[in-house]
């Protein structure tokens, strides 16, 4: 019901055809059939079968499946089975990781049912919240969860915490009076909304919306409508796989045509056997070109990253999202609970004599009489409660009153007396008073909004326990202090007292002004440093909050996010093109609603940014799902967690920045593996291709190529997944959104390594007799080429690694993989296993020759690396 907050309570009851006595059971049954249950259907969890099938949907996987099929057609069953085994292993690793993440999220979900106290047929009943219907009269008390959207018709000191919808950390005092039309959600103070919490007081509301017709329900529909984006890694790998497939197909067709053309030229009869032989050559090339171990390497690298992140209290829901966080260049962060502590805290105390800093208070004995009285009144004028649960000190009640108890404890002040009676706070007086009896006598203690309370004061408290008349001069000093705190976006409470009698009528006049307490939801202690780390990594932090503009600006200044501030109302006046320009220069957005958050994320994405969105509330969920990477905090709502890619279990923004570093490191390690696999594969491809062009024998068989791809370069590529990260990883820009998986520099280096290695390998093969037709010489030459390729791959491991500025002896797994590859090569050459591979044992002279060739190759490799480093040093110095 649009605009229902702008009409009177009586008119609402009439419009909904109900009364304060509640609906009859007959009417409830009728409305339940009409409106359905008060329930929001959550998206069902992804089935295990869908998770499993998702592991086999990349283009590189399709290439390898085609290689399996082609091997089976050619009756190369060993090749087919080995490739298929790798694919199954890769798929199972990814399946297990994603299934565990989904089950972990289910374990985090709070399976609680909201109950409600409802009036029906003039009787109070306690029912399941799902049974509510529009028109029901619901009673709300401190500690309740609001079961549906409602319009308040009666309140007593009612304060509601609505941060999950509005983003505001302060509890909202509620009223019943009509409000102006076209107010934002956060300002509809005569309404209560489903899933918000009653922190103090009590109230009665008439239900106006249930299920999908609530604010939470509308957000749930927005989440369902938002399409999930492919991660940058998925896009890059898919593009890479397609281009690689086209190149491999083109080269294979070219070689097949050259072989057929050469046979025709030589007068050879083209029968089925010849075509099968040519097809065998082609599949050898395909096996050499396809990086067989790449899917397993990517999956394992992401799995290892997932475990590391879980150690940092970050749960990964989607495996490929790990790398994406390292690619993001914008983090849109909700303020409450993520950048701030989500806890009101008194930071300043003020009396006529001085200002107190509660973050570093003086010794308890140095507090004056006035200052101790200031904190004492904060304790007496207070309905919050202090308890103990499992050894933890727990405060329950209004966030403001909880903050006053903490400030008194910080000052070492406790109340020793008896509270006799109370005048509750209300929206008109904006004050609360209590009658207390102490050893020093009976007094009325009052707290309230500074402007209202100051009007009730005739005196001010002096440090010598006496009071003096409150003149215009003193009022100006107090007003100046109030304005100063307000300018820092602090919430201010004023405190006063007067002498009274036990049976005194509590009238709030002639009060003695004592002082002020100024509070704020403070930033997390480490967030400013995390903001600086993000900026050093060329990541732009943006604060998006439902709080007021001044509060958002003040918090931003404290944590290092400054500049232009835009409000939700200003966003409404912008079309999409204007907003795209505005988001380039705006780092703080205040008073926003879910629709605004979605528009901000979309505008950033349309400017080619990779956007991470953090949040905890229901209002964050649509933007979490739309963003390239959604990050929900562990204390947030289940709706937010369901929409996110990550869940930060301890709500720490610092851990999010740590996760960015982890994502960048994982991307580097995946890139190293791709470089190793492709450099080796390019060398193997050119070696076979050039031999075919020259009319020589095949230097490597399909079985030898498969062994090299799986073991010789596969093992070190897997060892790269645990490689340490470069020390400058958080001092460089993220990978551009449309950048390929390998940069121009890496492609040039890859081409140089592959071509150089192939030419040296071709020389070794020919020198050993590979161009001649003698079968015994061919086996020896093939063994020489095979062994050279193994040495080439082992050197390549360290050449590629050095281009990422990683120290030589920091990864024992890498050294172990190299040693294992060399050991297995020795077993193949010098045990009966060599018959299976069609190779022979090499002499010491041949091994020395290969060693020299490897050294020559190594020297050639460091030419482009040395040039690149000299060029970088020269340009920066």
Catalytic residues: 334
Rounded-to-10 torsion of CA 217, 218, 222, 223: -20
d(C-alpha 459, C-alpha 453), whole Å: 12
d(C-alpha 730, C-alpha 744), whole Å: 21
Cβ pair 717, 297 in contact under 8 A? yes
Cβ pair 237, 55 in contact under 8 A? no
DSSP H or E stretch at residue 467: strand 467-469
Q: How many CA atoms lie within 13 A of 406 on its CB side?
A: 21
Alpha helices, DSSP H only, in 22-157? 25-35, 48-54, 59-73, 77-108
Residue 131 φ/ψ, nearest 5 degrees: -90, 0
Burial class, 759, CB count within 10 angstroms (exposed 0-12 / middle 13-18 / buried 19+) = middle
Which pair of tokens denotes residue 706? 């498969």
C-alpha closest to that of 508 among 430, 446, 450 = 446
CA 682 to chain centroid: 37
SS3 348: strand
d(C-alpha 132, C-alpha 860), whole Å: 77
SS3 526: coil
- What own/partner pairs with CB < 8 Å and gap ≥ 24 does 471-480 have? 474/352, 477/352, 478/352, 478/450, 478/454, 478/513, 478/516, 479/454
SS3 863: helix
d(C-alpha 799, C-alpha 858), whole Å: 8
d(C-alpha 692, C-alpha 23), whole Å: 89
Distances (CA, A) of 71 to 77, 280, 430, 777, 805: 6, 9, 83, 27, 40
CA 121 to chain centroid: 49
Which residues partner with 197 through β-bridges? 145, 161
Q: How many CA atoms lie within 13 A of 122 on its CB side?
A: 0
Name the DSSP letter for residue 510: S
C-alpha closest to that of 300 among 809, 715, 797 = 715
Which pair of tokens denotes residue 510? 């002639």
C-alpha closest to that of 492 among 556, 447, 432, 555 = 447
Cβ pair 600, 332 in contact under 8 A? yes
d(C-alpha 236, C-alpha 739), whole Å: 8
d(C-alpha 168, C-alpha 186), whole Å: 8
Which pair of tokens denotes residue 544? 């998006």
Name the DSSP letter for residue 338: I
CA 670 to chain centroid: 21
Distances (CA, A) of 298 to 106, 320, 677, 730: 26, 9, 12, 22
DSSP H or E stretch at residue 577: helix 576-582
Burial 509-545 (b: 16+ CB within 10 A, else e): eebbbbbbbbbbbbbbeebeebbebbeebebbbbbbb
d(C-alpha 854, C-alpha 30), whole Å: 86
SS3 266: coil
């Amino acid at each position: 019901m649009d605009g229902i907050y702008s009409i009177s309570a009586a008119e609402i009851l009439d419009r909904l055809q109900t009364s304060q006595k509640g609906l009859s059971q007959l009417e409830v049954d009728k409305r339940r059939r009409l409106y359905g249950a008060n329930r929001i259907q959550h998206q069902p969890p992804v089935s295990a079968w869908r998770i499993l099938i998702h592991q086999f949907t990349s283009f590189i996987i399709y290439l390898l499946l085609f290689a399996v099929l082609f091997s089976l057609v050619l009756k190369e069953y060993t090749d087919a089975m080995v490739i298929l085994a790798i694919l199954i292993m890769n798929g199972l690793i990814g399946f297990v990781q994603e299934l565990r993440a989904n089950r972990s999220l289910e374990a985090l979900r709070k399976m609680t049912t909201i109950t409600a106290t409802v009036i029906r047929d003039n009787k109070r009943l306690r029912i399941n919240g799902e049974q509510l219907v529009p028109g029901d009269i619901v009673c709300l008390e401190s500690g309740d969860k609001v079961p549906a959207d409602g319009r308040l018709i009666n309140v007593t000191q009612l304060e509601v915490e609505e941060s999950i919808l509005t983003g505001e950390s302060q509890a909202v005092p509620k009223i019943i009076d009509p409000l102006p039309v076209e107010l934002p959600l956060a300002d509809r103070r005569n309404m209560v909304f489903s899933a918000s919490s009653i922190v103090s007081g009590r109230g009665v509301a008439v239900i106006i919306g249930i299920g999908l017709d609530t604010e939470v329900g509308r957000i749930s529909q927005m989440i369902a409508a938002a399409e999930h984006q492919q991660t940058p890694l998925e896009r890059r790998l898919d593009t890479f796989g397609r281009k690689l497939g086209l190149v491999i197909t083109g080269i294979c067709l070219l070689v097949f045509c050259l072989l057929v053309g050469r046979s025709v030229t030589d007068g050879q009869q083209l029968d089925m056997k010849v075509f099968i032989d040519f097809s065998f050559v082609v599949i050898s090339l395909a096996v050499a070109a396809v990086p067989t171990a790449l899917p397993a390497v990517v999956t394992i690298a992401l799995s290892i990253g997932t475990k590391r992140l879980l150690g940092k209290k970050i749960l990964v829901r989607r495996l490929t999202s790990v790398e994406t966080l390292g690619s993001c260049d914008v983090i849109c962060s909700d303020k409450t609970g993520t950048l701030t502590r989500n806890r009101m805290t008194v930071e300043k105390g003020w009396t006529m004599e001085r200002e107190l800093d509660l973050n570093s208070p003086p010794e308890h004995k140095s507090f004056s009489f006035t200052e101790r009285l200031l904190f004492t009144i904060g304790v007496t004028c207070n309905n919050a409660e202090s308890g103990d649960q499992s050894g933890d000190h727990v405060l329950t009640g209004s966030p403001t009153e909880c903050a006053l108890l903490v400030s008194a404890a910080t000052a070492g002040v406790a109340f020793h007396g008896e509270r006799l009676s109370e005048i509750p706070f209300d929206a008109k007086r904006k004050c609360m008073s209590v009658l207390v009896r102490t050893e020093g006598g009976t007094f009325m203690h009052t707290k309230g909004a500074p402007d209202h309370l100051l009007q009730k004061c005739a005196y001010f408290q002096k440090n010598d326990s006496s009071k003096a008349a409150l003149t215009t001069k003193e009022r100006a000093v107090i007003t100046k202090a109030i304005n100063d705190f307000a300018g820092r976006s602090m919430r201010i409470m004023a405190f006063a007292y007067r002498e009274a009698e036990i049976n005194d009528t509590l009238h709030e006049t002639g009060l003695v002004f004592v002082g002020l307490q100024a509070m704020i939801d403070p930033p997390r202690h480490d967030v400013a440093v995390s903001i600086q780390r993000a900026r050093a990594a060329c990541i732009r932090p943006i604060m998006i909050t439902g709080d007021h503009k001044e509060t958002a600006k003040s918090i931003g200044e404290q944590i290092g996010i400054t500049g232009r501030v835009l409000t939700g109302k200003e966003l409404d006046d912008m079309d999409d093109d204007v907003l795209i320009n505005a988001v380039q220069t705006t780092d703080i957005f205040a008073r926003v609603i879910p629709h605004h958050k979605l528009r901000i994320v979309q505008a950033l994405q349309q400017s080619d940014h990779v956007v991470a969105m953090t949040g905890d509330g229901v209002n964050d969920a649509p933007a979490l799902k739309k963003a390239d990477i959604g990050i929900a905090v562990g204390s947030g709502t289940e709706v937010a967690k369901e929409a996110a890619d990550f869940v930060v279990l301890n709500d720490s923004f610092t851990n999010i920045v740590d996760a960015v570093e982890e994502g960048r490191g994982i991307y580097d390690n995946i890139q190293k593996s791709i470089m190793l696999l492709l450099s080796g594969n390019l060398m193997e491809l050119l070696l076979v291709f050039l031999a075919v062009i020259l009319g020589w024998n095949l230097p490597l068989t399909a079985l030898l190529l498969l062994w090299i791809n799986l073991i010789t370069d596969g093992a070190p590529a897997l060892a790269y997944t645990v490689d340490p990260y470069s020390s400058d990883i958080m001092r460089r820009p993220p990978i551009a959104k449309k950048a390929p998986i390998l940069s121009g520099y890496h492609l040039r280096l890859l081409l140089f390594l592959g071509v150089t290695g192939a030419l040296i390998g071709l020389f070794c093969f020919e020198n050993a007799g590979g161009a001649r037709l003698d079968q015994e010489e061919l086996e020896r030459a093939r063994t020489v080429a095979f062994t050279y390729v193994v040495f080439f791959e082992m050197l390549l491991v360290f050449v590629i690694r050095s281009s990422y500025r990683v120290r030589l002896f920091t990864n024992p797994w890498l050294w172990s993989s190299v040693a294992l590859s060399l050991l297995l090569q020795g077993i193949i050459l010098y045990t009966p296993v060599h018959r299976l591979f069609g190779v022979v044992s090499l002499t010491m002279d041949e091994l020395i020759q290969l060693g020299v060739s490897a050294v020559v190759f190594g020297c050639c490799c460091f030419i482009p690396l040395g040039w690149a480093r000299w060029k970088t040093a020269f340009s920066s110095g």
